[in-house]
Amino acid sequence: MVINTNLSAMMANTQALRIRGEVGRHLERLSTGLKINRGGDDPSGLGIARNTQAQVRGTNTAIHNVEEGIHVYNMRDALLAEDQEMALRIRDLAVRSANEATLTTRDRQAMQQEVAILMEQINQAAYASPKVGGTARLLYAPSKLDVIWVLDATASMIPAATALRDASAQMFNEFQANGLDVRMNVTPFSFNIFQTWGANSVSWNFQQDAVSFQNDVDEIVGMINAGTGGFENGLLAINNTIDNGQLGGAFRTGSDVTRAIILITDEDSDDFGFTGPFGLPIDPNANAAPAAVAARAALTAKLQANNIILHAVGMERYFAAPAQWPAPDEDYAEVARNTGGSVITLEDAGTSWTTQITSALKASYADWDAEFQVGPDSGMNQSGHSMTFTFSSVTTDSMGLASANVATTAGAQATIDIANNALEWLSNERAETGWAVERLKHIANDLAAMSIGNSAFKSGLEDALMDQEIVDMTIQNMLSNTVAAAQAQANATVESASRFISVVSNSENLDQFSGIFTVQQTL
C-alpha cells in the first residue's frame, strides 16, 4: 500500500473527466443537431462543410434569381401581347380604310387619328415600362446618341444656324430626359470655307452640353459673316468628312450607339446640275444622270456601312424655280430616305423643324443585354453560372410600324403589309420570350437538384444522428456511474491507510497493537 500516490483514484478521476466531456459533447449535439459545433470537433470536416454550405446558399440564391428572371420575362410577354392587340387594331383600320368605295376623306382622317394614337401608346408603353437595370427598361433601352450637324455655311443659312443654336439647350434636355447619352457636333461646309481652310470640311469636337455646342455654332456664324458664300456640295462634304475620319472616325463604336448626320442646306446646295455658284441648272433631270445615281448609291452604302442615319433639312429662299430647285435637294432627300432619315423643308416646318428632328432622334433605341446570375459561382470563371439574354426595344420604329398611315387608299394598302410585318416581329419577340422562360424553368429545376444533393452531402458531414447520440450518451452515463463507484473504492483504500496510521501514531494503541502482534507471533 502506498499513500503518496493514489493511482486508482487518479485513473478513476481521469476517466470521469473524459466521460463528463463525452456526455457534454453528446448533450451539445442533441441540443444543436450538429456533430460539428466547433473547429476542434472535426477540423477538415468543418472546412468541407462550410464550403458545401456556401454552395447550397449560393444555389438557393441563384434559384431566386432565376425566379425573378421568369417573372421579368412573363411581364415582358404580357406587355408584348398588348402591343400585338394594338398592332392588330391598326391592321383592322388599314383594311377598313382601304375600302375606297364607301369611305370619305374625313372617315380616313378619323381612322388615321386613331392609328396615330395607337402608335403613340405603343411608344409610350415602351418608354414607361419598368426599369430593369441602369437606364434600360423592359421594352426600351435608350441608345448612346452621336449627332453631327453639317451646316451649309453661307449667309442665307444664318437663320437656320440661329434656330439650331437657340434650340440646342432644349434638345439636350429632352435627349437626356429620355435616357439618351447624347453628344452633338456641328461642322460647316461651303466653297469659301473649303478654300479658306484648305480642306473639304472643318470639324469641331463632340460636345455633351448645350453651352459648348452653342459656342461652336457661334464660331461658325462668325465664319459665315466673314466669308463670301459660294457653291456648296453636300454629298461631297459628307463623303469627304467620313473618308477623312472627321465625322465617321469621331463617332462612338458599338451596337448601342445611334449615329446621325443632319445636313442643313439651302436650295442652291447641290452636287449636280449647276454651272457654278448661284448658277441655273443646266439640266432639270441632272439628278437622274449616271454620275448622280452612282454618287447617291456610294454615299448611301457608306452611311449604311457605318450605321449612320442622314436627315436632310432644306430651306427655299429667293429663287424663282422651286420645282427645279427643291430644298432639300433631291440628291440629299433620296439618301436620307434610304438610310431611314427624315426630309424636312424649313418653310413647311417653320420654327418646328428642330422639334421634328428632336422627336426623330428621341426615338433612338438599342438592344441591350441582361445578365442573369444562374449559378452559385462567378460567371466570369465558371461557365454556365451566368447567362446573358438580349432584349429588343419595342417601339414603332423597331417593329417597322412608324410609317403606318391610313389617310389614303394607297397608304392603307401599304399599312396592311406594314402591320403584318410588325405582327410577325412581335410574334418572334414573344416566341423568344417564351423560349427564355422555358430555359429558365429548366435551370431552376437543375439548381433545385443541385441544392438537394449538396444539402445531403453537407448533412452527412455535420448533422448529428440523434438516435446514435442518445445511445452513446446512455452508455457514457452508465460508465459515469461505474467510475463513481471506482472513485469511492479508491478513496476507501486511502481511508484504511489513514486508520492504520492513526493506530500506529497513538502509543497506547501502539502497545496494544504490539501485544496483539506478539500473541499472534507466539501462536
Per-residue pLDDT tens digits for 314-330: 876 544 444 555 567 77
Q: Which of 47-56, 178-187, 352-361 is predicted least confidently? A: 352-361
**pLDDT of 512 above 80:** no
Give residue 198's pLDDT: 43
**pLDDT of 117 above 90:** yes
Tell me if 314 sits within 8 A of 157, measured CB to CB: no
Give residue 248's pLDDT: 45
Res. 152 pLDDT band, cuts 50 70 90: confident
Give residue 195's pLDDT: 47
Q: Which of 22-31, 80-89, 163-172, 236-245 is predicted least confidently? A: 236-245
Q: Which of 121-130, 319-328, 384-393, 446-455 is predicted least confidently? A: 319-328
Res. 372 pLDDT band, cuts 50 70 90: confident
Q: Per-residue pLDDT tens for 458-509? A: 887 777 777 777 887 788 777 777 877 777 776 666 666 666 666 556 555 5
Q: How far apart are CA 345 and CA 353, in angstroms?
A: 8
**pLDDT of 281 above 70:** no
Res. 227 pLDDT band, cuts 50 70 90: low
**pLDDT of 3 above 70:** no
Other CB atoms within a 10 A radius of the CB of residue 515 amount to 10
Average model confidence (pLDDT) across the chain: 78
Give residue 516's pLDDT: 58
Q: What does the pLDDT average to over 224-238?
A: 69
Which pTM does this prediction carry?
0.65
Give residue 312's pLDDT: 86
Q: What's the chain's Rg over C-alpha atoms?
A: 45
Q: What does the pLDDT average to over 402-415?
A: 91
Res. 55 pLDDT band, cuts 50 70 90: confident
Give residue 278's pLDDT: 44
Give residue 277's pLDDT: 41
Alpha helix ranges (H) inside 33-157: 43-97, 105-127
Print burial letters for 109-136: b (CB count within 10 Å at least 16), e (below 16).
ebbbeebeebbeebbebbbebeebeeeb
What element of type H or E holds 184? strand 181-189
Give residue 51's pLDDT: 87
Query: 47-139+366-463 adopts what CATH topology?
Result: f41 fragment of flagellin, N-terminal domain (1.20.1330)
Q: How far apart are CA 170 and CA 517, in angstroms?
A: 128
Task: Compute CA distances 335 → 238, 300, 310, whole Å.
Answer: 11, 6, 7
**pLDDT of 199 above 50:** no
Print burial letters for 352-390: b (CB count within 10 Å at least 16), e (below 16).
ebbeebbebbbbbbbebebebbbbbbebeeeeebbbebe
Q: Which residue has the higher pLDDT, 518 or 487?
A: 487
Q: How far apart are CA 326 and CA 153, in angstroms?
A: 18
Q: How far apart are CA 121 and CA 269, in angstroms?
A: 39
Residue 15 identity: Q
Q: Give the closest residue to 300 by CA, choosing from 252, 253, 334.
A: 334
Q: Per-residue pLDDT tens for 431-449? A: 989 998 998 999 999 999 9
Residue 348 identity: D
Q: How far apart are CA 300 and CA 292, in angstroms?
A: 12
**pLDDT of 164 above 80:** yes
Residue boundaries of the structural domains of the chain: 7-33+465-522, 47-139+366-463, 142-364
CA angle, residues 100, 104, 107, in degrees to nearest 5: 105
What element of type H or E holds 12? helix 7-32
Q: Which CATH superfamily is domain 142-364 in?
A: von Willebrand factor, type A domain (3.40.50.410)
Cell of 26: 453528446
Most confident of 107-111, 159-163, 203-207: 107-111
Res. 373 pLDDT band, cuts 50 70 90: confident
Give residue 506's pLDDT: 57
Give residue 94's pLDDT: 95
**pLDDT of 154 above 80:** no
* HSE value, Cβ hemisphere, 13 Å, CA-based, for 168: 26
Print burial letters for 52-66: b (CB count within 10 Å at least 16), e (below 16).
beebbebbbebbebb
Q: Percentage of the chain with pLDDT > 70?
A: 77
Q: What is the DSSP string of 484-514?
A: HHHHHHHHHHHHHHHHHHHHHHSHHHHHHHH
Q: How far apart are CA 147 and CA 206, in angstroms?
A: 8
Q: What 3-state DSSP class applies to 304?
A: helix
Q: Percentage of the chain with pLDDT > 90?
A: 18
Res. 175 pLDDT band, cuts 50 70 90: confident
DSSP 254: S
Give residue 204's pLDDT: 65
Q: What does the pLDDT average to over 214-240?
A: 75
